[in-house]
């Protein structure tokens, strides 16, 4: 048997939610509903805490019951489905997300001095073990050596268009005007006489 006074205090935490009923009769009905469903006070405490986490406003007794049914079997045997969280996959997890691990900072690397002997041996080793040239590498080197053409300005584009237009007008022959067609007069055919 659960302590009804303790359940009433837990339900009192829901009064801060928007649309929670303010009258005492509704409050007593919600307490009775929870007392009918739970078998331990810890279940009621979980229900109230989880309800406040998931719902931004009072969604009714059915949502309260359906949330309880997601985790526990109700003592009164009445189960309900949520209309807000219709699919189990949508319900956010109870546990907080796992925090990212802290990365261990590595000690700073020792400074490298400029030793002329080491630099000379490094250059010699690099020259000995140079990879053979490949067609792709040669092509990339040739592309890198090509100077890019300067960008064309709008003024130069306008000059080119003007030259092309002038050339077009000089080279196009004058179009002859279309000849007027002579209209043929329609002459009626002579009628055959019906003397026969």
Instruction: Determine the pLDDT at residue 88.
Output: 59
In a domain, 152, yes or no: no
Question: Per residue in 141-157, pLDDT tens?
Answer: 777 777 666 677 889 88
In a domain, 115, yes or no: no
| 98 band by pLDDT with thresholds 50, 70 and 90 | confident
In a domain, 58, yes or no: yes
Higher pLDDT, residue 149 or 44: 44
In a domain, 119, yes or no: no
Instruction: Determine the pLDDT at residue 105.
Output: 85
In a domain, 67, yes or no: yes
- Cβ(36)–Cβ(76) under 8 Å? yes
Find the domain containing 29 and state its range: 4-71
Instruction: Determine the pLDDT at residue 120.
Output: 85
Instruction: Determine the pLDDT at residue 42.
Output: 93
Instruction: Domain count for the chain, please give it.
Output: 1
Question: Per residue in 63-93, pLDDT tens?
Answer: 999 999 988 999 999 998 888 877 655 677 7
């Amino acid at each position: 048997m659960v302590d009804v006074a303790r359940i009433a205090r837990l339900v009192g935490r829901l009064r801060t939610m928007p649309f929670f009923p303010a009258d005492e009769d509704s409050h007593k009905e919600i307490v009775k509903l929870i007392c009918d469903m739970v078998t331990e006070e810890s279940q009621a405490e979980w229900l109230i805490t989880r309800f406040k986490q998931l719902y931004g406003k009072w969604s009714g007794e059915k949502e309260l019951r359906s949330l309880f049914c997601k985790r526990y079997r109700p003592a009164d045997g009445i189960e309900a489905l949520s209309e807000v969280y219709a699919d189990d996959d949508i319900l956010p997890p109870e546990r907080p997300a796992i925090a990212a691990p802290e990365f261990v900072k590595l000690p700073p690397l020792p400074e490298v001095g400029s030793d002329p002997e080491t630099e000379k041996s490094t250059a010699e080793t690099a020259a000995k073990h140079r990879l053979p040239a490949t067609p792709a590498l040669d092509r990339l080197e040739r592309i890198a050596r090509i100077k890019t053409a300067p960008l064309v300005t709008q003024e130069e584009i306008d000059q080119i268009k003007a030259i092309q237009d002038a050339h077009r007008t000089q080279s196009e022959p004058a179009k002859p005007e279309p000849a007027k067609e002579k209209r043929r007069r329609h002459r009626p055919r002579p009628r055959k006489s019906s003397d026969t």
